[in-house]
Structure 1
């Protein structure tokens, strides 16, 4: 028997069919949902590797092995390991910034605002030590993380100034105010790193109290000077 006429579009039709099939619902779960779930698994796997006591270098193979996925699914969501690390770091920073600013806003006095914000940060990194190590551990020497830490320090220094200006008479644009803000953020970061590493034997409430005392004590330095920054009014 002779064969029917061939269809030159069969290959492209099959490819389109495969692509469509990949996004079909399986077990009630749509394709977009599966992609999002795999992306979340890769992010969590990377956080596992970065935040471990013996932090490992993050590789496509290592992340995929931990997430139980193949490299195909890695590149479905990320172009590179560096991009994945950036997404992981930015996600933790966004979580901390959102939660701490909300807690700061709820306080009625400067001390209660700072105390609320610090308590939220300490609680978050205590509940998930991976996040604390990602942000503060000196064992993580990745150039990507080093760059992201510099970015986050600048971000939180800016947030510190903006937050303080809502309570104190702070000249946000002064060099002194910027210096104090960076000092506060850097000091808090190092204290929390030492606490996570076991170098500072304090309870969670004690580390919060100490952090608040250190953060609030330089508040007077942030107070605006006279109009032109001169103590004698000149």
Structure 2
């Protein structure tokens, strides 16, 4: 015998309905943050936008901070998954093709929904707790790029500070370029943006590797 919480309504299970309600709350939170309305948002106002009873908010989140953090994490996870998926799909291809695919994947996620770019990349102000979450998300993407750089440019790069500095620089510059693009301040089309960012990734990666090896040779010599 099933309990009332396990019954299907309209063909959807209780867990499926809860997941849908959670997604709706994440969506309105993303909109509120992107519109710079987050600091005035309340549980009641967000629930009104989603046409949900407040009890459904607390079904998924303890408070607004937890909802905001979850929204940022969901965007970061989508971007990371797209980048890694692209990389895995291009294993065996040239470095240029791998980099182009990864950049295209990131641009397509953030360019398809301007809110995601603004919230993840710092295009709108957030409370201190969310800023920490945003920095953590960007740091996670940087780690992925560091590991990729090491696999491409040999382990020698690990012995130089550029192994960490260069990817952080690339991520920061890429974030600003994408923000400028989604805001209309960078007058290039999608294809040109991807080509330009890819070229910069490759140029910096190769230069960083060359500088690192030169430094190592100087010390060894």
TM-score w.r.t. the length of structure 1 is 0.83
Matched, 1:225 2:213: yes
Name which of 46, 52, 55 aligns with 2:36.
55
CA distance in 2, matches of 1:82, 1:111: 40
Matched, 1:140 2:140: no
CA distance in 2, matches of 1:95, 1:80: 23
State the Cα RMSD in Å. 2.1
Matched, 1:46 2:46: no
Task: Select between 198-207 and 99-108 the one with higher mean Cα deviation.
Answer: 99-108
Contact 1:161–1:172 (CA under 8 A) maintained in structure 2: no
Residue in structure 2 matched with residue 178 of structure 1 by the alignment: 164
Cα 1:37–1:106, aligned 2, differ >3 Å: closer, same or farther? closer
Residue in structure 2 matched with residue 95 of structure 1 by the alignment: 78
CA distance in 1, matches of 2:168, 2:98: 19
Residue in structure 2 matched with residue 160 of structure 1 by the alignment: 145
CA distance in 1, matches of 2:29, 2:186: 27
| CA displacement at 1:105 relative to structure 2 | 3.0
Residue in structure 2 matched with residue 15 of structure 1 by the alignment: none
CA distance in 2, matches of 1:196, 1:27: 39
| CA displacement at 1:144 relative to structure 2 | 2.8
| CA displacement at 1:153 relative to structure 2 | 2.4
Residue in structure 2 matched with residue 203 of structure 1 by the alignment: 189
* 1:192-212 CA distance string (max 9 Å, x none): 111111111111111111111
Task: Please state which structure has a larger fraction of its residues in helix.
Answer: 2
Residue in structure 2 matched with residue 64 of structure 1 by the alignment: 47
Matched, 1:112 2:97: yes
Contact 1:85–1:144 (CA under 8 A) maintained in structure 2: no
Residue in structure 2 matched with residue 125 of structure 1 by the alignment: 110
Gaps of 5+ in 1: 1-19
| CA displacement at 1:22 relative to structure 2 | 4.4
TM-score w.r.t. the length of structure 2 is 0.87
Residue in structure 2 matched with residue 76 of structure 1 by the alignment: 59
Task: Select between 215-224 and 107-116 the one with higher mean Cα deviation.
Answer: 215-224
CA distance in 1, matches of 2:193, 2:54: 42
